[in-house]
């Protein structure tokens, strides 16, 4: 794609008088959200103009490397031209129109960023998914969302083809691959001949922009919907004060394209600040490749899950001379004080933890320049008023454990998700009195620092993923060996916690070799649902603890795992 960049200037960028300072004022609550907002038109195209006038230093907006010699470097101007071409592909011949939902299941390839921006330009609702999704996951997502379009890579195509006949709403399938495939439109071919003339749709700031699927204790993942304003303006202060980015910075955020952390760290927060987003495709995560990359490329800012840092501190880090690394961030799961200390000792760099959720973005963080209390996830960040509340919605005093909650007064913050689509009951359940409740438990100390305690429900937080036990139990029950199961978290030195399944076996399997059966069940789960959810520990039991009404008591098993009474 890099070679096909047209040097002529973009068509009709609609520049509004919306500055970074305006966005910051909105984040602080000092200014209302504008009626209309489109990140591509109002932010990205402004940076393209600043490149032309020299107000932004020369340097890429997106710098992608494959790890096998291929490289793409796009300025904001080039990103503008190319994403306009992509927008034209989606609109025609893709036949997709404003408000249509589009599932985008791509690995970390440059096209993911193009399609993302193209969806903003055309007003399509972007629905990212990890390439670990299986046919069953894809079917659920396409049907639940009534997606009209799908953009996928070759590795995902067979899973899509296996279920597409059950998705009557899906009318467009675009394949991102150098090869064509029957039944698919070729994104690459259409892109080559697409026009670079496209004016962004004048989207409303509260108009739906993206849907993220999130796991809960019960049922299938929910569809958390975000607006153009919540994503495109909501991360301004986070980009400046947590990520500490300037236009001269280059950030590498490792998150998979399927998670909101990719939107935060690899799209909105960096590009609001005019910084460069660095991407290493890295099909399979490898700590050595990560360290080599930091010594090869001028990455100033690194963001990855605590599990990654836990893996990195096991290496001899003093052997590595990082080229320009100056600021390190982490989030998605709790960071141990000990890992922070080891990273600091070996690299001289602090780890700045952020805590957040798909629904509301970053809630607490150790901002640059703030004193860090090891083990704490920092203080509440704007635009949020973060409190610890009790079961009746009352604010608890410092030092008291309760649920982490965000004030809905004087108004629901604009950076919140708008709703769980088609699920008013679950949307309403996130509110308690004047607060949005996170479902996480914590403590606020007398200095205003927050300390994570754990989930208030059965959701498992492992390697930065949030996994609903029900999804794993549903996968296990499809295996003939499983009569019933209970899935809970279990401690793990590298991944923080892992998924553990307690399994009651059916009679024919009771005499099976436990190790072999464990492997079989693990493979089975990896095939039925996204592999990152598979139980890394399995224990076979005669029966599960239950309430008098027959409900499985996961808490008893979880307490047992964690050595709690």
The pair phi, psi for residue 339, each rounded to 5°, is -70, -40
Strands 250-253 and 301-303: parallel
Exposure string over 133-159, b if 16+ CB within 10 A, otherwise e = bbbbbbbbbbebbebbbbbbbeebbeb
Q: Name residues contacting ligand BCO, limited to 270-299 (CB under 6 A).
A: 285
Nearest-angstrom CA–CA distance, 430 and 404: 12
In sequence order, what E strands does 445-565 have?
450-455, 460-462, 465-467, 482-492, 496-505, 537-541
The pair phi, psi for residue 528, each rounded to 5°, is -85, -40
Segment interacting with ligand BCO (CB under 6 A) among 57-65, 93-101, 197-205, 252-260: 252-260
CB 450 within 8 A of CB 444: yes
Q: Name residues contacting ligand BCO, limited to 82-141 (CB under 6 A).
A: 132
Tokens read off for 345:
């000792």
Q: Is 88 or 255 the residue whose CB approaches ligand BCO more closely?
A: 255
Binding mask 198-237 for ligand BCO (x = CB under 6 A): ----------------------------------------
DSSP label of 265: I
- Which of 260, 459, 487, 521 touches ligand BCO by CB under 6 A? 260
Start-to-end CA distance of the chain, whole Å, equals 58
Instruction: Using alpha carbons, select from 50, 191, 40, 61 the residue that is nearest to residue 124.
Output: 40
CB 476 within 8 A of CB 506: no
Nearest-angstrom CA–CA distance, 382 and 413: 10
Q: Does the protein bind ligand BCO through residue 526 (CB under 6 A)?
A: yes
Q: Which residues contact 346 (CB under 8 A, 6 or more apart)?
A: 313, 317, 318
Binding mask 295-334 for ligand BCO (x = CB under 6 A): ----------x-xx----------------------xx--
| Shortest distance (Å) from residue 105 CB to ligand BCO | 12
Is the bond into 383 cis (omega within 30 degrees of 0)? yes
The pair phi, psi for residue 307, each rounded to 5°, is -60, -35
Q: Does the protein bind ligand BCO through residue 261 (CB under 6 A)?
A: yes
Q: Is 79 or 138 the residue whose CB approaches ligand BCO more closely?
A: 138
Q: Is 266 or 427 the residue whose CB approaches ligand BCO more closely?
A: 266
Q: How many degrees, rounded to 5, is the angle at CA 76 between CA 70 and CA 81?
A: 85
- Which of 215, 236, 342, 358 touches ligand BCO by CB under 6 A? 358
- Which of 207, 256, 353, 458 touches ligand BCO by CB under 6 A? 256
Binding mask 160-179 for ligand BCO (x = CB under 6 A): --------------------
| Shortest distance (Å) from residue 348 CB to ligand BCO | 23
Tokens read off for 296:
């090869």
Q: Is 285 or 470 the residue whose CB approaches ligand BCO more closely?
A: 285
Q: Does the protein bind ligand BCO through residue 465 (CB under 6 A)?
A: yes
For the chain, what is the radius of gyration of the CA atoms? Answer: 23
| Shortest distance (Å) from residue 308 CB to ligand BCO | 5
Q: Is 203 or 357 the residue whose CB approaches ligand BCO more closely?
A: 357
DSSP label of 36: B
Nearest-angstrom CA–CA distance, 491 and 462: 9
| Shortest distance (Å) from residue 549 CB to ligand BCO | 34
Beta-bridge partner residues of 64: 72, 279
Q: Does the protein bind ligand BCO through residue 561 (CB under 6 A)?
A: no
Segment interacting with ligand BCO (CB under 6 A) among 241-249, 340-348, 392-400, 524-532: 524-532
CA dihedral 44, 48, 50, 52 (to 10 degrees): 180
User: Residues binding ligand BCO: what is the number (CB under 6 A)?
Assistant: 23
- Which of 259, 343, 435, 449 touches ligand BCO by CB under 6 A? 259
Q: Is 274 or 331 the residue whose CB approaches ligand BCO more closely?
A: 331
Segment interacting with ligand BCO (CB under 6 A) among 39-47, 415-423, 499-507, 525-533: 525-533
Q: Is 24 or 256 the residue whose CB approaches ligand BCO more closely?
A: 256
Segment interacting with ligand BCO (CB under 6 A) among 18-26, 113-121, 136-144, 457-465: 457-465
Q: Does the protein bind ligand BCO through residue 498 (CB under 6 A)?
A: no
Q: In the complex, which residues of this chain contact ligand BCO (CB under 6 A)?
A: 132, 255-256, 259-261, 285, 305, 307-308, 331-332, 356-358, 361-362, 463-465, 526, 531-532
């Amino acid at each position: 794609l890099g070679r096909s960049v047209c040097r002529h200037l973009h068509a009709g960028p609609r520049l509004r008088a919306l500055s970074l300072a305006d966005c910051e004022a909105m984040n602080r609550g000092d200014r209302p959200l504008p009626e209309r907002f489109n990140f591509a038109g109002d932010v990205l195209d402004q940076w393209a103009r600043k490149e032309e006038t020299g107000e932004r230093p020369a340097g890429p907006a997106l710098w992608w490397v494959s790890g096998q010699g291929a490289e793409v470097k796009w300025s904001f101007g080039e990103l503008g031209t190319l994403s306009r071409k992509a927008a034209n592909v989606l609109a025609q011949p893709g036949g997709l129109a404003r408000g249509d939902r589009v599932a985008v299941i791509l690995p970390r390839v440059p096209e993911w960023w193009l399609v993302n921006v193209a969806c903003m330009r055309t007003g399509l609702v972007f629905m990212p998914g990890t390439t670990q999704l299986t046919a069953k996951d894809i079917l659920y997502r396409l049907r639940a969302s009534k997606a009209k379009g799908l953009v996928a890579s070759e590795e995902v195509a067979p899973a899509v083809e296996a279920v597409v006949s059950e998705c009557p709403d899906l009318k467009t399938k675009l394949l991102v691959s150098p090869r064509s495939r029957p039944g698919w439109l070729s994104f690459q071919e259409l892109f080559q001949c697409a026009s670079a003339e496209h004016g962004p749709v004048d989207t409303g700031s509260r108009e739906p922009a993206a849907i993220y699927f999130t796991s809960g204790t019960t049922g299938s993942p929910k569809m958390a919907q975000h607006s153009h304003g919540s994503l495109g303006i909501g991360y301004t202060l986070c980009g400046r004060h947590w990520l500490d980015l300037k236009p001269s910075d280059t950030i590498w955020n490792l998150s998979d394209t399927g998670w909101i952390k990719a939107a935060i760290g690899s799209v909105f927060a960096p590009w609001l600040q005019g910084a460069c987003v660095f991407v290493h495709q890295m099909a399979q995560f490898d700590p050595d490749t990560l360290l080599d990359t930091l010594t090869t490329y001028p990455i100033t800012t690194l963001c990855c899950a605590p599990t990654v840092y836990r893996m990195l501190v096991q290496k001899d880090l003093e052997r590595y001379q990082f080229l320009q690394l100056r600021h390190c961030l982490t989030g998605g799961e709790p960071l141990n004080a000990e890992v922070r200390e080891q990273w600091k000792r070996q690299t001289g760099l602090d780890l700045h933890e952020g805590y957040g959720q798909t629904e509301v973005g970053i809630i607490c963080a150790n901002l640059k320049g703030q004193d860090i209390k090891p083990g704490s996830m920092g203080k509440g960040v704007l635009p949020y008023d973060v409190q610890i509340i009790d079961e009746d919605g009352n604010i608890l005093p410092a030092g008291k454990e309760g649920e982490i909650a965000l004030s809905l007064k004087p108004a629901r913050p604009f950076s919140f998700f708008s709703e769980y689509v088609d699920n008013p009951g679950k949307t309403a359940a996130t509110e308690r009195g004047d607060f949005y409740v996170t479902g996480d438990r914590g403590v606020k100390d007398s200095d205003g620092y927050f300390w994570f305690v754990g989930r208030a429900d059965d959701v498992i937080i492992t390697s930065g993923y949030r996994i609903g036990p029900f999804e794993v139990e549903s996968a296990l029950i499809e295996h003939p060996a499983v009569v019933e199961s209970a899935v809970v978290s279990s401690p793990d030195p590298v991944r923080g916690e892992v998924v553990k399944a307690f399994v009651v076996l059916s009679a024919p399997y009771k005499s099976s070799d436990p190790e072999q059966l464990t492997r079989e069940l693990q493979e089975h789960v990896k095939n039925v649902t996204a592999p990152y959810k598979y139980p890394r520990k399995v224990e076979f039991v005669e029966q599960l603890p239950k309430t008098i009404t027959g409900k499985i008591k996961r808490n008893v098993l979880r307490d047992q795992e964690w050595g709690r009474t």
